[in-house]
Every structure is written in C-alpha cells, then in structure tokens.
Amino acid sequence: MRAGVTRATLYSHFATRELLLEAVVRRAVVETDQLLSALDLDSLDDDDALERLVQTSWPMLDRHRKVRLAALEHLGTTPLREYHDAAFRHVEELIARGQENGTFRTDLSREWLVATLYAVLHAAADEVDAGRLTSEAAPATLTKTLRSVLHPR
C-alpha cells in the first residue's frame, strides 16, 4: 500500500492496470490543459508566449515523467499522443499565430511543428530520466531549442 490506497481499492475502480494508467494520463493532461488555458498567451509576443508555454507545461511533464514511461510501455505512442490533443491545441494556436506574424517558419507545416514541439518536450523528459539534463535546466534548454526549430532560417 502506497499513498494510502490498497490494490483492492484500485482494482474495484479500474479492472486493469491499463485502465488505471489511462485514467492517470487523462487526469494529467486535463490538468495541463487547464493550466495552459489559464495563460494569457495572446497578450504576449510569439517568442514570449512560447517561453511561457514551455515554463508552464514543463513542470507538469516533469512531475509525470514516470507515468509517461509506464504509459508508453503499456498503452503505446498512439493513445498517448491522442490524449494530448486537447492540451496541444494551445501549441497549434500559438504556432499558427507565429506563422501568420512571420515569427515562426512557414516552410514546414503547422502539424509538423506541433509534432516536433511534442517530441522535443518528451525528449527532454527522457534526458532528465537518463541524468543528462536537469529538471531545472530543462525549461531554458527547451525554449532555446524550440526557438531555433520554429524561427525561419
């Protein structure tokens, strides 16, 4: 028993480990979506909005790194990415705005840039897990990396 919850209690609510994991992932993504929805990204220029988005989303991902690894192992990448669709609409809106303003590149599709941002965020989590990046350094590293990816050449 950890966190005051017995296995019997968990399995009375969730028939399988996968169902429990899906519920935990959904909750984490809903929390992230709520945090991102509360941001006033429209009042910031595109680069500052990107930085704010990273600074807000990284702590959530960092807190749920182990859940992410378990979800990848037991649920696979497709369902995990689908759970993030609601939260990633904020990213898509920001990239669309940045492309329209000329801040972000237009030679690559918006969908590809959203997927790249998603991949880079999760690569940072993997690097923290491997001990090659600290949680504290991740937001600045992510912001610099993503700006270099998103800005026109």
Q: pLDDT tens-digit profile of 17-63?
A: 777 778 877 888 788 778 878 888 999 999 999 999 999 989 988 98
State how far Cα 71 lies from the chain centre: 14
**Picking from 9-18, 59-68, 87-96, 132-141, which range would have the lowest pLDDT averaged per residue?**
9-18
The percent of the chain in helix, strand and coil, each rounded to the nearest 5, is 75, 0, 20
Q: Which CATH architecture describes the domain 18-150?
A: Orthogonal Bundle (1.10)
Cβ–Cβ < 8 Å for 144, 54: no
Lowest mean pLDDT among 8-17, 18-27, 67-76: 8-17
For the segment 127-136, the average pLDDT, to the nearest whole number, is 97
Q: Partners of 5 in the beta sheet? A: 2
Backbone angles phi, psi at 75, to 5 degrees: -110, -25
Give me the phi and psi of 5, to 5 degrees please. -120, 125
- Rounded to whole angstroms, how far apart are CA atoms 115 and 119? 6
Do 69 and 129 form a contact (C-beta atoms < 8 A)? yes
* Domain spans of the chain, in order of start: 18-150
